[in-house]
Amino acid sequence: MKRRTFILSAAGAALALTAVPGAAQAVGPHAGVPTLAGRGPYTFVSDLTALQNAIDTVTEGATIVVADGTYAVPDGSPIRLSGVGGRWNKHLTITAESIGGVTFTGAQSFVFDGAHHVTLSGFVFMQSTTFEIPASCQAITLSRNEFVLADIEGLHNVMVRADDTVIEYNHFHGKSTLGIYLGVEGGGATDMAQNVHIHHNHFSDHTFPGDNGGEPIRLGVSPRALSSAHAIVEYNLFERCNGDPEAISVKSSDNTVRYNTIRDSLGGIVLRHGNRTRIESNHILNGENGVRIYGNDHVIVNNLITGIRGSAIVIGCGTLRDHYEGEPSSSRSKNDAPDRVRIALNSLIDVGGGIIGETARPIEPRDCVIVDNLVVSDRGSLALVPKSQGFTWAGNILWGAAATGDLPASGYTSADPLLETDAEGLPRIGAGSPAIDAAAQDHTAWVTDDILGRHRTGAADVGAHESSSAHARRTPLHAGDVGPQSA
């Protein structure tokens, strides 16, 4: 068998490749960017027949390298990944010769069935059907790919139904019609895929003019609301996501949404269905919507929402008190009044409304705790929740020309927080601020650091930022921090 050397430019390492007929001889052009995601032995292919043969005969945990170029996948003959895979610590990896160097066109590209521990890396997908990861699979990773599918009305880009799926360092963009970029569901009618991890992706430029159905991420649908997904959505960047008021739409239970940045977008973070989701340390900047809440036992902490036209945090009212197992589908789609939601240590600055309650639906939220938030604005109302029962308000600091609202006098202090602008141009409390060490409650059971990852010490500072000289471990995300070409 002919041998040749493939140079991994970022590491300066020489990797031996097994060549197959038709193998390309040139090394990919993207110098300085990691190109081989997997581990050897390596098989190099340069046509679709060779790729399928390599998949069908590859040893467990090997890496298949696809030569740079454009591959038109014939209708009815997709690349099949049936019953193949690696191990938890050594995936079967199929990777482009260089990141972004391989484009797949046609109706479909890869089709999965019973595959496990497979990584696809470095490709550009331009297919005209949804990229599906079915429930028969497990531990599939999509890494450093670009999804710019055909702009077809109602076409979703990626749908995940398999447990332990990882969606990382991808770019989803370029849609102007109805349809979502990334959906997570599950097998059957009510299940959710478990332990899906979505991180360091770039979602951008969805221009659908309708008012519903263009979410960048949708975690579940209403029939799956009570299913615990345990998904983690973190370190993703959303820019110009204008396909839906919900950039991250949660319609399942027990998820974590943290460390994401939403910029210049219509969409916000919406807990539309489900219970016990944690929304932590996200930046929502210069867009339209903030965080909207339905369902029970959520935690909303450490978020900075600034420069948006709408309300920063909206506490919904319901058309029913709680969803329940076995309820008819006509009921499951209704709004669940929020109960026992904790909203703490958030900074809501220059917004169209601060902490605002809905009034259009009849069933009020109950027993929510709204403490130690910083709300500063000259627009709308700072805190106005006309329908509520059993709320706890404490330690909030309100400031600005906006109307105070209707929270009890014991629940807030009116004081200038002495905001200053940081290196990102974003507001935070400055030296001598009355927010420093002013938290009314002990939050150590709920949160130990601030939005930038700096430890909170002693009594917490009110709002998302702790006054500290410590180095920030997290910062708002930019395009260079996420997506296929990021470090």
Asked, for residue 84, whether it belongs to a domain, the answer is yes
Asked, for residue 255, whether it belongs to a domain, the answer is no
Asked, for residue 446, whether it belongs to a domain, the answer is no
Asked, for residue 252, whether it belongs to a domain, the answer is no
What value does the mean pLDDT take over residues 143-149?
A: 98
The parent domain of residue 40 ranges over 1-111
Select from 408, 404, 379, 377 the least CA-distant residue to 391. 408
Instruction: Assign 330 a pLDDT band (cuts: 50, 70, 90).
Output: confident
Neighbours of 379 (CB within 10 A): 16
Asked, for residue 69, whether it belongs to a domain, the answer is yes
What value does the mean pLDDT take over residues 192-209?
A: 96
| pLDDT beyond 60 at 318 | yes
Render pLDDT for 109-145 as a digit per residue (tens, 0 to 9): 999 999 999 999 999 999 999 999 999 999 999 999 9
Provide CB contacts within 8 A for 267, sequence distance 6+. Answer: 215, 216, 238, 241, 242, 243, 244, 245, 246, 247, 248, 287, 288, 289
Residue 297 is predicted with a pLDDT of 98
| pLDDT beyond 70 at 12 | no
Question: Which comes out higher in pLDDT, residue 457 or 104?
Answer: 104
| pLDDT beyond 50 at 152 | yes
Asked, for residue 152, whether it belongs to a domain, the answer is no
Q: DSSP letter string over 136-166?
A: T-EEEEEES-EE-----TT--SEEE-SBT-E
Render pLDDT for 349-377 as a digit per residue (tens, 0 to 9): 999 999 999 999 999 999 999 999 999 99
| pLDDT beyond 50 at 148 | yes
Asked, for residue 13, whether it belongs to a domain, the answer is yes
Q: What is the pTM of this model?
A: 0.93
Asked, for residue 44, whether it belongs to a domain, the answer is yes
Q: How many domains does the chain have?
A: 1
Select from 349, 343, 354, 345 the least CA-distant residue to 435. 345
CA dist 71 and 24 (Å) reads 14
Instruction: Assign 434 a pLDDT band (cuts: 50, 70, 90).
Output: very high
What value does the mean pLDDT take over residues 85-90?
A: 92
From 55-69, 225-239, 274-288, 383-397, the region with the lowest mean pLDDT: 55-69
Residue 110 is predicted with a pLDDT of 98
Tokens of 51: 């790729």
Mean of the per-residue pLDDT values of the chain: 92
